[in-house]
Amino acid sequence: MACGFRRSIASQLSRVLDLPPENLIKSISAVPISRKEEVADFQLSVDSLLENNNDHSRPDIQIQAMRLAEKLKCDTVVSEISTGQGTVNFKINRELLTKTVLQQVIEDGSKYGLKSELFSGLPPKRIVVEFSSPNVAKKFHVGHLRSTIIGNFIANLKEALGHQVTRINYLGDWGLQFGLLGTGFQLFGYEEKLQSSPLQHLFEVYVQVNKEAADDKNVAQSAHEFFQRLELGDMQALALWQKFRDLSIEEYMRIYKRLGVHFDEYSGESFYREKSQEVLKLLDSKGLLQKTLKGTAVVDLSGNGDPSSICTVMRSDGTSLYATRDLAAAIDRMEKYNFDKMIYVTDKGQKKHFQQVFQMLQIMGYDWAERCQHVPFGVVQGMKTRRGDVTFLEDVLNEIRLRMLQNMASIKTTKELENPQETAEQVGLAALIIQDFRGFLLSDYQFSWDRVFQSRGDTGVFLQYTHARLHSLEETFGCGYLNDFNIACLQEPQSVSILQHLLRFDEVLYRSSQDLQPRHIVSYLLTLSHLAAVAHRTLHIRNSPPEVAGARLHLFRAVRSVLANGMKLLGITPVCRM
Ligand code: ARG
């Protein structure tokens, strides 16, 4: 609630401006801390007020700000009112600020910032987030990894905000690749290998049978036939397909667990084989389906034959395509979950695909199509593991763990750890996630292991290091000092900066919840860690009088709590030792 300060300022403003406080709350923002000087805590941008008023004449904003400031009075909450560039600035009573922020951080725990007045009046919604969605037997590429961590973040954030979230993994588990796989497995598959490492073995078989099929028409023919048997519901073929799918999911679940990711539903394209046929009938009955000379069927979204708006929905043999199955899946999910919002997380290469799917739903008469949203992300270049390009998710995780273990071994400050493998994995994952979440999701970037693992600078390693350090501070001094403290002792600029920064957490969460970009939270946590490092150097606990030591310890504990909250939202497990 930024501790209710915004509401308190808004109610005074509301009297002066004769506007309801609810309209003012979002115009009052916590001032980002600046290294230069002590800044005010909150500011009201006069510009945004005028927007609220729909007043387009825009009289001189500076004069407006000054006039407004003159009409406002200090009270028990606000101790100073001043003006800046088109803003009215408010300084909160220092003691109240300290007390309220620390109390709120501890009381609200993992909900700190989420109970804010910024989110009040936001009804809980039913939200479906579809993410990760790899293709069975094909490469798990970096795009799938990005989809996994971004989707997980979005689901975490929505859940934290009180929405009811359903996480769906929509597997690529249908299509000609299963014809090839069926044939390939009969030729060069091994049951034991399939059982012990299904993803690896199926991929090997897939690569090999692809090669064979390119040279040998008979193999290609038999792959086609196998897929046709699947499409027709042949029990034997389906049993083999089911085994491939089940074993793959089992292995995926184990690996997702290492990533800290779970799904409520493993769905897939295969589910929509029959329902796609219904969709085709529906399109036809609405007069939207057009047969082509080649025997395929298309939907013309522009209505005037513009080739870029033509979407193929049926092959010449009557089978469905990717887009058809997505239509069926969306309709099915609406029936099943009655969602208020459905979010698809994939690389930007699928932008047009989703535009077309949503548009088709719309012209089919489904108004809820506007509740569907595609969250696209950019391409990552150059991620390689020891085995080469990324083929398996597990390779990436192993690479992270190995590199991080080597890093930790070379750093003198590394502690004796109970489970170094696990710590290395968690620190390494933090590094990967922060690197990925620092910029706009839509931007492409060049991947570099060295940059990911830098312990200094703005990396996930730094966040984990800060968390571990703060944790050990509590362990060392916790029991001795926490009962006896005086918050009036937290008046140094380092403490005030931290408090001011903690005050802003809700705003940062709000921003990320609006544009679904994790970068706001990332840069917030990095700043928090830098502030903690400065405070750690200057605000000593050892040898300080107990009431000072206790107050500082409280401050550090609040920092760690908010740091941990933010990291968890991003999908990072904070470590207590490293
Ligand atoms: N399996 C697809 C791929 O790897 C991603 C699926 C995205 N989701 C969807 N509903 N189409 O490209």
Q: Which pLDDT score, from 0 to 100, does residue 231 have? A: 87
Distance 170 CA to ligand 1 centre (A): 7
354 lines ligand 1 (CB under 6 A): no
Helix, strand or coil for residue 291?
strand
- What is the arithmetic mean of pLDDT over 417-446? 94
346 lines ligand 1 (CB under 6 A): yes
Beta strands in 159-282 (DSSP E): 164-171, 265-268
401-to-299, 410, 574 alpha-carbon distances in Å? 48, 14, 15
Q: Which of 99, 115, 138, 353 is catalytic?
A: 138
Closest atom of ligand 1 to CA, residue 143: 4
- What is the arithmetic mean of pLDDT over 273-292? 95
138 counts as catalytic:
yes
Stated as kind and residue range, the H or E segment containing 45 is: strand 42-45
Pocket test for ligand 1, best of 170, 271, 275, 352 (most atoms within 8 A of CB): 170
**For 95, phi and psi rounded to 5 degrees?**
-70, -40
Residue with the nearest Cα to atom 11 of ligand 1?
326
Q: What is the DSSP letter of 319?
A: -
User: Which of 43-57, 294-308, 529-543 is least confident?
Assistant: 43-57
Closest atom of ligand 1 to CA, residue 322: 11
144 counts as catalytic:
yes
Q: Which pLDDT score, from 0 to 100, does residue 478 have? A: 76
Per residue in 458-472, pLDDT tens?
999 999 999 999 999
Pocket test for ligand 1, best of 146, 350, 354 (most atoms within 8 A of CB): 350
- What is the arithmetic mean of pLDDT over 427-449? 94
290 vs 52, higher pLDDT: 290
- Residue 18 CA to residue 138 CA, distance in Å, equals 62
Report whether pLDDT(524) > 90: yes
User: Which of 61-65, 103-107, 514-518, 548-552 is least confident?
Assistant: 61-65
Distance 147 CA to ligand 1 centre (A): 10
Distance 43 CA to ligand 1 centre (A): 44
Per residue in 7-19, pLDDT tens?
999 999 999 988 8
399 lines ligand 1 (CB under 6 A): no
**Structure tokens given for 416:** 């004796």
358 lines ligand 1 (CB under 6 A): no
- Residue 14 CA to residue 24 CA, distance in Å, equals 7
- Residue 371 CA to residue 377 CA, distance in Å, equals 19
Contact between 71 and 80 under an 8 Å Cβ cutoff? The reply is: no
Q: Which pLDDT score, from 0 to 100, does residue 134 have? A: 95
**For 29, phi and psi rounded to 5 degrees?**
-125, 150
Taking all residues of the chain, what is their mean pLDDT, rounded to a whole number?
91
Report whether pLDDT(413) > 90: no
294 counts as catalytic:
no
- What is the arithmetic mean of pLDDT over 305-319? 91
326 lines ligand 1 (CB under 6 A): yes
Report whether pLDDT(35) > 60: no
Percentage above 70 pLDDT, the chain: 96
Distance 263 CA to ligand 1 centre (A): 15
Residue with the nearest Cα to atom 6 of ligand 1?
133
Report whether pLDDT(343) > 80: yes
Contact between 376 and 442 under an 8 Å Cβ cutoff? The reply is: yes
